[in-house]
Structure 1
Amino acid sequence: MRNSQESETDSQQQNMQEPQEAPSEENPYYARTYRKVSEPRTENRSTEETADNTAREPAGEKKNSYSSYQFATPVPPEKEAKKKKNTSGAARKLGFAAACAAVFGLVAGVVFQGVNYVGNQLTPEENTQIAQAQLTNSSTASSDSSSQGSVAQVAANVMPSIVAITSISVQEIPNYYGYFFNYGGGTQEQETESSGSGIIVGQNDTELLIATNNHVVEGATSLSVCFTNQDGTAASSQSDVENTSSDSGSSTDLEGGTAVTAQVKGTDVDNDLAVVSVNLSDIPEDVLNEIAIANLGSSDDLVVGEQVVAIGNALGYGQSVTSGYVSALNKQVSSDDVDGTFIQTDAAINPGNSGGALLNMNGEVVGINSSKIASSSVEGMGFAIPISRAEPILDELMNRETRQKVEDESQAAYLGITCINVTSNTEEMYNMPVGVFVSSVEEGGPAAEAGIQQGDIIQKFDGTTVQTYDNLTNQLSYYQAGEQVEIVISRAEGGQYQEQTVTVTLGAKSDAQSSAQDSQNGQ
Structure 2
Amino acid sequence: MGNKKNQDYPFIKETIKQRPMDKRKVLEKLGVAAACGIVFGLSAVFIIMICMPGILDKYEQRIKKKETVQITPSIQPSGDSSLQQETASVDKSTEEIDAANNEDIQEESTVSHLQNIYEMVRKIAREPQKALVRVAGITGDSDLLDDSLLTFGDEGGIVFIKNKDGFYIVTTSERLQEIEKFRITFSNGKSAEGELCGADSRTNLVVIRVPVENTDEDTWENIPAVPLSSEDNQEQTQPVIAIGSPAGDMNALIYGSITSISGKLNIADEEYSLITTDMAGSQKGGGVLLNMNGRMTGIIISNDNQENTVLRAVSVAEIKCLLEILSNGEPICYTGIRGTTISKMQSEQLNIPQGIFVDRVEQGSPAMNAGIQSGDILYKMGDQRVLTMDEYSRVLQNKKPGERMEVTLYRKSPAEEYVDVELNILIKEK
TM-score with structure 1 length normalisation? 0.39
- Larger helix share, 1 or 2: 2
Instruction: Choose 1 or 2 for highest CA Rg.
Output: 2
